[in-house]
Amino acid sequence: MNGSSKNNSVAVIDYGMGNLHSVESALLHAGADEVIVTHDADLIRSADRVVFPGVGAIRDCMSEIRRLHCDDLLDTALREQHKPVLAICVGMQALMQHSEENGGVDCLGLLEGQVRHFGAPLQDQDGGRLKVPHMGWNRVHQERPHPLWQNIADGERFYFVHSYYVDASDRSLLAGSVDYGVKADAALARDNLFTVQFHPEKSHRAGLQLLSNFLNWDGTC
């Protein structure tokens, strides 16, 4: 959808590496007035809030993010305009300093920490083997209160697809965790930024509730 900013418009940053149609549809279903899938700077600046999605290989993602100057657009939304920003999956990983994927990739460094491979062998609490990638439903443990957890039960299941996990250096950022052989960061929050490793657009009722909370969030904790 294109056009001027409405009361609750969302720009989904398009650098060619996200589940863009699914994210757009879920945001509209959650109550967004307008969803703009774009890398156009003017459209992103005029939106009320920003979603930064991502899937695929981090090296390819970082290449396209920088080629299209999406890193500058994201920085403007976060630091200059102070609008609410939600990062999803590889979008979350891209905000960190470095990823172990593909032999090592430098990321945006907006948040301090690393993106690590799950490694092998992974085992659950009963000694059963866990496969990588971590794919499917898993419980997210809320590590601290946040407006985006409103009306979502602690331990609610969300949908994950990833082989690498975030390990933030600043543990005060931790908003949610997930257990999959290791305890991994499932959500980080700082000021007007909220990031999730899972896919809210694929997480049915709980995911739509989180997106609805995002649409009603003013960017403060």
Active site residues: 89, 199, 201
Vertex 77: Cα angle to 80 and 97 (nearest 5)? 100
Q: Which helix (H) or strand (E) holds 95?
A: none
Report how far residue 199's alpha carbon sits from residue 161's, in angstroms, rounded to the nearest whole number.
8
Q: Distance from first CA to last CA of the chain, Å, rounded?
A: 30
Could you tell me if 36 and 9 are in contact, meaning their C-beta atoms sit under 8 angstroms apart? yes
Rounded CA separation 38/13 (Å): 5
